[in-house]
Structure 1
Amino acid sequence: MSEPSESQASRPDQGAIPLEKYSAQGKRVLGLAFEEARSFRHNYMGTEHLLLGLLRSTESQAAATLANLGITLATARLAVEKIIGYGEAPIEWRPKLAPRTISVLSLAVSEADQLKQSSVGPEHILLGLLREDEGVAMGILTTFGADAEKVRAQLLQTMALAGVNIPGEPAPVKSNVVACRVDKRDLDAIDALIEAGIRSTRSDAAAWLIHAGIEAHKALFEKVYGTVAEIRRLRVGVQQLVQETEQLEADTLEARKEQNMDSETKSNTLDQEQAS
């Protein structure tokens, strides 16, 4: 069993991948991907296993990006099962990296270098998958309506919001993307809205619920907005007072300088008169 791919000759050697550049999180994704390959009884680690490994790295921005696009570990596993299926016998050895996977991991290093980051993490692996733009993983993403350009834009935005400097990208002033952690009950409610067809993605469902919550507490938010308006008014007043104080201090200092200059001029004139 092998992943559909180009010839081995067109790909870098497995030993050419500088794993020392991978962060602990990046290496963990690889370990999880190997576990996924073994669980499917595949004798290779393909891009689909990398995708599953990324989805299992739940603390990463890569996993958050995929989740926001409606791609879950369970649905991705079902897709792999449907497309590839299970191998016939358990794998007793470490699955070999497929040529396309080697390419993705090399591209991940390139992505980290372009972003001027010292180590390769889950986000760079996902960017590498997107740059490869072929393979089972991209087929799965496309099935969910997440093409390479869309996923890349979403991921870079998520990284920027997390404080990562993205060269060539303007810093987000105020984004309409909100990242938060919810408990299991709330997450089940969000997923139920999606499964029932009421909302399309987790982001869509969360936004809808937030809006509904605000609408349900209009009276409270009227008070909140009033308080915020007063805080802003006071802030402006304080800023104006500070500016006026600074200007007064500057004017006073300038006046003292002029007085000192006048005093020195008068003193010099008096000295000259006495000398004559």
Structure 2
Amino acid sequence: MFEFFTDRARHAVTLAQDEAIALGHDFIGTEHLLLGLAGTDRSTAGEVLRKQGVEQARIRQETVRILEAAGVATTGGQGAKDALSSLGIDVEEIQRKADDNFGPGAFQYPRPTYTQDARKALEQTLSEAHALGHDRFGTEHILLGLLSAGEGRGLDVLNALEVDRTGLREAVLARVAGGAS
């Protein structure tokens, strides 16, 4: 599926993964997808979000607040690391060696997995692109997919930031109609 994403859309998904890791989460949720979209430069979704007053720092702050209120731990995958440690595998040592050989941050374990809501939003990305007659998926399609999925903490973040989701959707569609990429 990701082979049909534009470079900016792939970058947004990579940023979502990076945000999840930076926040110590072993999952990628719609909140992380929203962070990735807001963090992309010169992208339709990023520009529309900024014009709506939705900045990445505010998204991150609300994400942390909402997840902490929900009791979501920032474990950094400690359970997986502990399981490997019980088998005599030192993940920290592997990370140090990878950093020495390939540069800092080259190895992250565990890799976060997508939540059910994030998977649904990405599936909706496909539906949104096809509904618009597009065969490549851009950041605008990811944002539309996130909005149309109907569930997820990314929507909770938008609600907390008092974003009019219908207005946001209309702004994205207006940009698309104007030939945005």
| Matched residue, 1:92 | 109
Q: Taking CA–CA contacts closer than 8 Å with sequence separation of 6 or more, which of the two structures ends up with the larger relative contact order?
A: 2
The residue number in structure 2 matching 1:41 is 24
| Residue 137 of structure 2 corresponds to residue 150 of structure 1 | no
Residue 84 of structure 1 aligns to a residue whose secondary structure is helix
Q: Once the 2 structures are TM-superposed, how far is the Cα of residue 110 of structure 1 from its aligned partner?
A: 1.0
* Larger CA Rg, structure 1 vs 2: 1
Could you list the runs of 5+ residues in structure 1 that have no partner in the other structure?
1-17, 165-276
User: What pairs with 1:47-196 in structure 2 (closer than 5 Å)?
Assistant: 47-85=30-68, 87-89=74-76, 92-161=109-178, 163=179
TM-score normalised to the size of structure 2?
0.76
Q: CA deviation at 1:160?
A: 2.4
Contact conserved, 1:21 with 1:119, CA < 8 A, in 2? Answer: yes
Contact 2:5 2:136 in 1 (8 A): yes
Post-superposition offset of 1:20? 2.1
RMSD, matched Cα: 1.8
Asked if 2 retains the 8 angstrom alpha-carbon contact of 1:46 and 1:100, the reply is: yes
- Structure 2: distance between partners of 1:22 and 1:88: 30
**Cα drift, residue 87 of structure 1:** 0.6
Number of residues paired by the alignment? 147
Residues 131 and 148 in structure 1, CA contact (< 8 A), matched pair in contact too: no
Structure 2, unaligned runs of 5 or more: 78-107
Asked if 1:24 corresponds to 2:7, the answer is yes
Determine the C-alpha separation between the residues in 1 that align with 2:75 and 2:122.
28
Distance 1:119 1:83 in 2: 33
Q: 2:20 touches 2:26 (CA, 8 Å); kept in 1? A: yes
**Structure 1 range deviating more: 36-45 or 88-97:** 88-97
Give how far 1:32 is off. 0.6
Secondary structure of 2:15 counterpart: helix
Identity of aligned residues (%): 32
Asked if the contact 2:66–2:157 (Cα under 8 Å) also holds between the matched residues in 1, the reply is no
AA in 2 matched with 1:36: E
Deviation of 1:158 after TM superposition, in Å, equals 2.1
Structure 1 residue runs of 4 or more that deviate by more than 6 Å after TM superposition: none
